[in-house]
Every structure is written in C-alpha cells, then in structure tokens.
Structure 1
C-alpha cells in the first residue's frame, strides 16, 4: 500500500453506532484526543486497544483521568509517534507522503495492565503490516527519545514566536528571544533528567546533555527561516486551539511532581493562553461587524457614501476582513466533512448556506457548541430548515454537541 494512493475519505463517528471498536488510532492535536474518545466511549471496553499518536505529551494521563477513571471499561493503550511528513489533499481525498520516515510504538501502561499485552500486540502487528508506516515496537525510553525532539522544539521555539509575533528568522537576530528559549530549554531539560521512568536511560541522557538539543533547535530555525511560524498562524492569526497544555504544560506538571520550579515555562503557558483568548475575541469582533453589515445591507440602509470613493474602499476592505474572520470561525466549529458539504450548498443555494452559517456562529458565540459540528449534525440542521421553511422557528433533534441547556429553538 502506498500512502500517496491511500483513500482517507472522512467518516463521522456518531453515537448512533453502537458497534464495538476493537482497535482505534487517535491522531492529531492533543486537545482533540479527549473529545474524540469521549464521543465513542460507549463503543470501547477492556478488550479495546487505543493507539494515541497525538501531538505533545501527557495526553494518555488526561484521557485516563477524565474518561476512564474508576471504570472497568478502560481499554489498553499504545503510544505512537511518526517522523513521516504527510500532506492531505481534501479535493482528492488522498494522503501524499512528502518525506519518508518511521513509526515507533510503545506500551502505555508503564508497568500495569500487562495482561492486556496480547490485544495490543495484535494492533502492533496490524500497523506493522502497513509497509509504508515502517513501524516498530520499542521500550518507553527509546520511544520518548524518538518523540522528544519534536516536543522540545514545539515547547521552546514555537511559543517564543507566538509570544513575540515574529517569524522563525526573527529568532536569529533577537537576543532577548534567544535568552527566553535558553531559559525554557534549561527548565525542560532539568525535568526530563529527573523523571524516574527515564532513570538509567543512556539514550535520553546522551540527548539532553551536551549541545545536541541546541544544535537541533538551531538547525530547525535555519530550515524554516524563510517561512512564518506554524503556531503563530494557527493561534494568533486564525484563533485555532493551542496544544500548550501538552507541551510546556506537561513539563510544568511533571516538574511540580518532582519539586522542580519552571517559572519561565509557567509564564510562557499563561501568555500563550492569553494571546489565544485575544485572538478569539478579535475574530468574534470581526464576526459581529460582519453581521451588522449584513443586517444593514438587508435593510437597505446606509444611504450611500458621503465621502466618495475613499469611504467605499474602506467599506470594501472592512467587509473583506469580516468575511475572512467569519470563515476562520467556521473552520473552527465545523469538521472538514461538514465544511465541505456547506461549501457545496453555497455554490447552489448561497442564502441557505448563509442562514445555516449564521445559526452556527450564533451558537458558537454564545458558548452553546461543545464540540465541532459533524456532517451528521449539519445534515440534521439542513433537514430541519428544509422541512420548516414556512415556520418562524425550527426544532433541531437533540444530538451530542448541542448545549443541553438550550431549548433547541433556532430563529430563522
């Protein structure tokens, strides 16, 4: 099987499906893992094996704490990490491999639940059967040695770019930024060097001591110096969720357990969250302006421009900014398959798509969406609108993701 020919047409997982899940792989941002597993918890039990191939560290601990704590249905876990570089082509529903790498797996029990080893080994063999994944099962310390470089880089380089709002190249000529990265790195290394599960690991010791990490960070910055920071675009420009709790936050939690203070990492975590909140507020402000402009246009208001072409150009620029902010917010609250469906509807019935978007944005702004809207939920909303075109209000069937405190009455 070649990755470039692999079909990955997304499929929504809903609570209507009660079939048992034997093997489940959860990949992507760490902040999505808990939500993803919560949505299929009713299909998971002790005979299920879950492989967490998520960004950051500490996802497994949160999953166990928030979803499976005190339950007898807790699955067995594998931890995974891959160094492949992949690109998803949504138009062709395919994944292309940009750089060949390898995948490493390890047990997620740290000495417990060893009776479940057989079910996990079946999962390992299934992944090893996909030749292009280049998978292997390794001890935890070697797996962490494989994953740690990307985690440290994302905990040292990316947050400084986000906080200072500078590209990678800006780090090379900013002494203050370099000092900040040095302090972050020094604190993180002190935690890793004291973690009891890594005691005696030559692989980890050789990596965190000496200049190997600094050389890795410098080479990463040099390789990306001509492009903007990935996290800067995601968090500050687009207001997308941040994984800082699974990066700097992970080392802060472990440092607290070990009696190690990480003041620079704490400051960085708090500042990143504050910047993210400001980005969300800015997007909400743009959306409110867009809705006001839309209401004015629908009401025939405005009376034309008093200041000639200059005022008209300003208005057009504001509308463009509002449209961009609106689309960014929709990308945050819609699963890709739902966004694709809504885009197809817009091509045929633009006003219908706008009505649906306005309803969803209203729910998001008032905190009534607890997770991203799936294609199935979007279909329900579309069906309700179509069936009630002559009514002033529509009723949406209660499904997971809508606020339980809401009356599910949406104004047309």
Structure 2
C-alpha cells in the first residue's frame, strides 16, 4: 500500500524522532534515517551516563560498516536524552528524568543544530515525544515505556521493531490502560542482517526489507461478533463499518504522528521500507514468529549456530512437532478467519519450509536467544515467541505442550546457568562446589589440593572428582555426574 500522503494544512508539533534502544537494530535505524536528505532531527535515548561518555569520545557518531565491502560510513548530528535522577524539587510519575543534550554547531557560539520547537519543552524541562521508535528487547518494552510514559500522549505514535508478538497487550495493560490517552502503534518487521561490533558500530551483514503497518487497537476497534461478520457489508451501518471493519486509511486518519512516522521510515533507501495493510503485516509477523519459535530456543538450548538445526534426525522430529502446534493455532486465530488461502499459508509443511529456509540463509549466525544465554542476560524473548503461541492456544482451547515444555526448558537452563556461576549446588545442602581451578589441580594430581581435600585420588580413575566444600571447611570427594 502507498504511505499516506502529506495533507495540505496539516501542521506537525515537531519533526523530531526519538529512538529508544541502542542495540544493533536501533543504531541501524538511526544511521539509515540520518542518511536521508532533509532528515528529521533524531534524538537517541541512553539509559546510562557512561554510554553517553563513550558516545562523546567517538565523536558523537553512529557508524555503519558494510560487511561485503568493509566500508564504514559515519553519521553525526544526533541529539541525546540521558536517563538520570530528577533535579531537586522535581518529581515525575515514573521516577525517571531525561536530560536533553542537543547536538551543536562546531563553530562558536555552538548553537543547537536542531533548536526545539516552542511546544516541545515539557514543564519538567524534558522534551515531548511525538514519534518514538522502540527497538529494545520485547521483554523489557513495558519497563522502557514506563520510564517515558509522562512524555507521551494520545497524539504520539510508537513504532515497535522487536521480535515476538503480544508485547502490545502487556503495554496496554501496564502502561497505557486507558484507550482514550493511549498512543497509536506502528509495527516494524526487519529482515536485515546486522549486529553490533563495538560501541556505536553496527555491521550490515545482509540486505533485507522493513515491513511496516499500523496496529489495530481492539479496544477501539473490536473484532466483530460472528453474526455481524456473517452479514453482507452493504447491510452494515457506517458506524459498524468504521468500528468493526476499519480500513487502513481510517486508522491512519486518526493519527497525524503515525502518518508522519510512516512517511519518514519509507523515505529511507537503506531500510527498504514498505507499508502493508495491518492484516497482511500480522501474517508476516506470524510467519517470522513460527520460524523463531523453533530456531531461537533450540539453538539456545544446544548452544549451536543456526545451521546446526538442519540435517539432524532427532531435531527434525522436534521441529515437526513444534510447527504442527503452531500451524493449528495460527489457522484458528479469529482475526484471520475469512482470509483467502489461510490453511495453505499456515500449513505445517509450509511453516517447516520457512524455518528451513531461515536456518539455511543464516547458517553461520547465532540466534539472539542463544546470545542472551551466552551473556547470561536476565531474561529472553521466549515469552513473546513460544509464549505467545501457548497463550493464543489456551484462548482457543488448543494445548501446545511442546511449546510450553520448550519455553520452560529454556527458562530452567537460564536459571541453572546463573546458579552454576554463583558456584552453588542447586539444592540446600549448606555446601558449595569448589571452583574449576581446584578441579583442574585435582585432575592433574596436585598433592597440595588433594591433601587439603582429605581424600585420596586413585591414579587409575578416569573420572575427575567433584569436590564439595562444607561451610565448616571439611571437604569430601564425590564422583562427577555425567549427563
């Protein structure tokens, strides 16, 4: 579909775009937007002061390296918001305060490159957010928006560029429960291959596209009742048509900021953006989700790159079970009923083919969920990937035992990794494992360590002992358990 055209007489409060999330996607989008002719002012939102200090040392630049050519392109002129504590005597509803640091001209007197509009400054001294591009992980989207809720209103638009589905439901529940004051949502689905390679440096590894569309708020536009959906369109009143069967034009008409943000994103040649009707975009999201629900958790659990998912008989059986559950849920979603060719598009066979194609095209890559486990981040996106399938299955009365089990296996793995690194046995014995250095000495037959352990080690034993240390200092040897 064509992005909504600019209308005569419409006046924006500001052209400024805020980007929240300084990972690879956020930096890629920030760089792509800054490359455009007559680019809008762009404000990068940073949670930590040390991140801003690093940004200053690098010349306040976002750098993009093309993997094929090795060419690095640098863009500057970004304004910055730094999360800090509110000034004395000032309180915000979120408890967070965002200090605005403008980009300035290099010559004295160093005037701001993008002076604020008169209505951009809030009474707190912070800047109003008209258009927000949110690229943080899905599992922290609620926390991120709670920090900036006081800077958004019903005239704002938030574009979510994240893996997974279902986070908007959580955002509406915990951040914007009132539909009357709720911002408009856009959704962006990126297929570009990019990853971070240093501070404010992102590598563009593979060209892709960015699919964009407006989100249908079901509090304002609920799904029609079965008897209403079965009626011919000509028998519906204008109010019923606008409420239950809104067109994309009607959805965009309600939000000036959504129209502007969509036009801005589709102007970028690097992003290769295209606008889709909301139902078409939902189906693109579901297709990507079905592949991620297999690829991400399995590569994370087995700690392997994406290509290892292919050609393994045991894993192939697991993958078939997962896509079968996914297919049944997606083909039963009420919002998709009446879509032509639905059963084929979301058949188990086609979903398996899409997964195999993704695994092949990204064979040397490491999934984001695997990286979350390797770096022991506090949580993963699995609640918005496999968890979304489980929740929608529950709504429809379809049990998704495989996805449910896989989701909790991954959570258990994350918890076990944390316990292991704390060096504690995962049950209450009052004892802890001696570190790997001690085990290496024991395996090498170090006499000092063996003596301190108070046990003899057989030179013919092939299994190195696991030494358990009591809080009182007494140590005993046990055989290692091989899993």
TM-score (norm. length: structure 2): 0.54
State the Cα deviation string for residues 256-295 of structure 1 (Å, max 9, x = none). 1111111111111111111111122223339xxxxxxxxx
Q: 1:67 to 1:229 in 2, by over 3 A?
A: closer
- Counterparts of 2:348 and 2:391 in 1: how far apart (Å)? 25
Give how far 1:254 is off. Answer: 0.9
2:194 is the alignment partner of 1:86: yes
Q: Does 1:101 align with 2:182?
A: no
In the TM superposition, what are the counterparts of 1:328-339 in structure 2 within 5 Å? none
Contact 1:236 1:279 in 2 (8 A): no
Q: 2:261 aligns with which of 109, 123, 126?
A: 123
Residues 5, 94 of structure 1: 8 Å contact kept: no
1:36 aligns with 2:105: no
1:188-230 deviation line (CA, Å, top 9, x unaligned): 1111111111123337544312633222222333445556655
Partner of 1:260: 398
Structure 2 gap ranges (5+): 1-34, 37-63, 65-72, 85-95, 99-125, 222-250, 425-440, 450-483
Q: Rate the CA distance shift 1:228–1:49 in 2: closer, same or farther, 3 A.
A: closer
Distance verdict in 2 for CA 1:223–1:122, change over 3 Å: closer
The answer (yes or no) to whether the contact 1:236–1:275 under 8 Å persists in 2 is no
Change (3 A) 1:229 1:31: closer
- Give the CA deviation at 1:52: 0.9
Distance 1:186 1:124, change over 3 A: same
- Greater fraction helix: 1
Q: Trace 1:393-408 onto structure 2 (pairs within 5 A).
A: none
The counterpart of 1:57, out of the listed 165, 171, 191, is 165
In the alignment, is residue 16 of structure 1 matched against residue 97 of structure 2? Answer: yes
Q: Distance in 1 between matches of 2:394 and 2:357?
A: 31
Q: Aligned equivalents of 1:165 and 1:260: distance in 2?
A: 30
Contact 1:105 1:137 in 2 (8 A): yes
> Could you tell me whether the CA contact under 8 Å between 1:84 and 1:100 is conserved in 2?
yes
Aligned mates of 2:306, 2:205 — CA distance in 1: 22
Q: TM-score of the superposition, structure 1-length normalised?
A: 0.63
Asked if structure 2 preserves the Cα contact closer than 8 Å seen for 1:168 and 1:229, the reply is: yes
Structure having the higher Rg: 2
Q: Does the Cα contact within 8 Å between 1:5 and 1:96 map onto a contact in 2? A: no
1:236 CA displacement: 5.0
Kept in 1: contact 2:327–2:348 (CA 8 A): no
Mapped to 1, the partners of 2:364 and 2:97 lie a distance apart of 47
Q: Are the aligned partners of 1:128 and 1:134 in contact in 2 as well (CA < 8 Å)?
A: yes
> What is the aligned partner in structure 2 of residue 194 from structure 1?
332
- 1:46 paired to 2:116: no
CA contact (8 A) 1:49 1:76 kept: yes
Relative to its length, the structure with more strand (as a share) is 2
Change (3 A) 1:178 1:10: farther
Q: Secondary structure at the match of 1:5?
A: strand
Q: 2: distance between equivalents of 1:20 and 1:227?
A: 39
Secondary structure of 1:213's counterpart equals helix
CA RMSD of aligned residues (A): 3.2
Q: Summarize the alignment of residues 156-305 of structure 1 with structure 2, pairs less than 5 Å apart.
A: 156-168=294-306, 170-172=308-310, 174-202=312-340, 205-209=343-347, 211-225=349-363, 230-236=368-374, 238-285=376-423
Partners in 2 of 1:227 and 1:119 — Cα distance?
A: 36
Label 1:97 to 1:126 Cα distance change in 2 as closer, same or farther (>3 A).
Answer: same
Give the Cα separation in 2 of the matches to 1:21 and 1:175.
51
Distance 2:81 2:198 in 1: 13
Provide, for residues 335-363 of structure 1, a one-character-per-residue CA deviation record: whole Å limited to 9, x for no partner. xxxxxxxxxxxxxxxxxxxxxxxxxxxxx
| 2: CA distance, partners of 1:230 / 1:23 | 27
The counterpart of 1:74, out of the listed 158, 165, 182, is 182
Once the two structures are TM-superposed, the CA of residue 181 in structure 1 deviates from its matched residue by 1.4
Cα 1:11–1:97 change in 2 (3 A) is farther
User: For the Cα contact (< 8 Å) 2:266–2:275, is it kept in 1?
Assistant: no
Structure 1 counterpart SS, 2:388: helix
Per the alignment, residue 5 of structure 1 pairs with 74
Question: Residues of 1 paired with 2:202 and 2:341: CA distance?
Answer: 33
